Amino acid sequence: MKKTFVNLEQLQEITQKHPTPFHLYDEKGIRENARRLKKAFEWNKGFKEYFAVKATPNPTIMNILREEGCGVDCSSLTELMLSEAVGFNGHEIMFSSNVTPVEDFKYAKKMDAIINFDDITHIDYFNNIAEMPETICCRYNPGGDFKISNAIMDKPGEAKYGFTRSQLTEGFIKLKNLGVKHFGLHAFLASNTTTNEYYPELARILFKTAVELNRETGAHISFINLSGGVGIPYRPEQNPADIMAIGEGVRQAYDEVLVPAGMDDVAIYTELGRFMLGPYGCLVTTAIHEKHIHKEYIGLDACAANLMRPAMYGAYHHITVMGKENLPCDHKYDITGGLCENNDKFAIDRMLPKIDVGDLIVIHDTGAHGFAMGYNYNGKLRSAEVLLKEDGSTELIRRAETPADYFATLNFTDFMKKNLF
């Protein structure tokens, strides 16, 4: 059984100040997890985690991770601006984007962020708009299927990202001629995997490729970015990834591949989002409606606009009916929101304790790609974000949207403005 990081009494107190729905984050859990990751890779002197801002773009959360020694991975102009406002600068920022607008590259260069080229054509594209930095990273896509022990983990050959192997050699030579002195290598080959073998297997691929590129081009490879992909156990029967075992597996690959090649100064970077934040956030909602037709339905005051993963992917998120954790799960429900879409369901045919209108419902593991993927379809307003601090107090770190926010970008006549506002 999955446990919540708050109990019913705490939530009842919190909801007196912050009406549901809202995303709640656990500061203590976030800090402890960041420290575990750092410890798992402490064998590498240059190790740094670049938190994937897209997972949870909230300045308070980002600042907690900054205090724990993390950098940030950005993929857009606004994520760069947000990171700058929080206090990140220079090589604390990795800029990994694709189909990149000119203004995004210019802003990344102005901030002296480490730029991670997604495509060989980006070299000339960037060189025409800004001076090439001395440090550049390139994203590698080996193509085909990515396998671990003959099991297909994902299909890089169908992904839109990265250089081919031959393009890496061509690109490194071209970048050296343009004045680049230090290179990084990056790849993302599987998503949300909890197997401990993923990072070590990815590391071996990147380490061997780095050795080959060094021999072929003479390029100094200063870091290798293992990207994200380490996942979390959304289902209660799943086992979590063991970050200490993962770190040890990468160390063994490092010692076997890079050290003999005289490349023992290579720093290891990661850019995790889901692993860093996923389990340390939840969506707190209230049951506001029940419906008895061909199926039993419970309607919440949250909807897919607050958490779209179940509607978009059919993703599983565990659900706890607060105060009824020890009661038998003897009722079958579809748990729904109020959008005019039939896929607006947080759970289908889920066995749960009897739910009554007014019950507080916690939807687990929304700390990453939860609020961030929100939207305003049907005129639904995005919810608040609340931080449960280490001392047990709470802080509103993003207020809920209002109708004024929803209408703010529209061009109304003065008459309409008077009637609406």
Question: What pLDDT, on a 0 to 100 scale, did the predictor assign at position 151?
Answer: 58
Give the CA radius of gyration of the chain: 23
What CATH number should be reported for the domain whose range is 279-407? 2.40.37.10
Terminal alpha carbon distance of the chain: 47
Q: Which of 70, 303, 329, 340 is catalytic?
A: 340
Closest-CA residue to 198 (of 137, 253, 120, 259): 253
Q: How much is the pTM? A: 0.94
Spell 186-216 as b/e; 16+ CB within 10 A means b: bbbbbebbbbbbbbbbbbbbbbebbbebbee
Q: Whole-angstrom Cα distance, residue 66 to residue 209? A: 31
Residue 157 pLDDT: 67
pLDDT of residue 419: 66
Q: Say if residue 334 is exposed, middle or buried (CB neighbours under 10 Å; 0-12, 13-18, 19+).
A: middle
CATH 2.40.37.10 occupies which residues in the chain? Answer: 279-407
Regions of the chain with pLDDT less than 50:
none
Give catalytic status of residue 74 as yes or no: no
The model's pLDDT over 76-126, given as tens digits with 9 standing for 90+, comes to 999 999 999 999 999 999 999 999 999 999 999 999 999 999 999 999 999
Which one of 3.30.479.30, 3.40.50.2300, 3.40.190.10, 3.20.20.10 gives the CATH number of domain 27-278?
A: 3.20.20.10
Q: In the block, which residue shows the tokens 């061509």?
A: 170
Angle 312-313-316 from CA coordinates, rounded to 5°: 115
| CB 89, CB 107: distance < 8 Å | no
Q: Where in the chain is the domain with CATH 3.20.20.10?
A: 27-278
pLDDT of residue 354: 98
What is the spatial distance between Cα 116 and Cα 398, in angstroms, rounded to a whole number?
Answer: 30
pLDDT reported for residue 119:
96
At 72, list the tokens.
């940030």
| Interatomic CA distance for residues 197 and 203, integer angstroms | 10
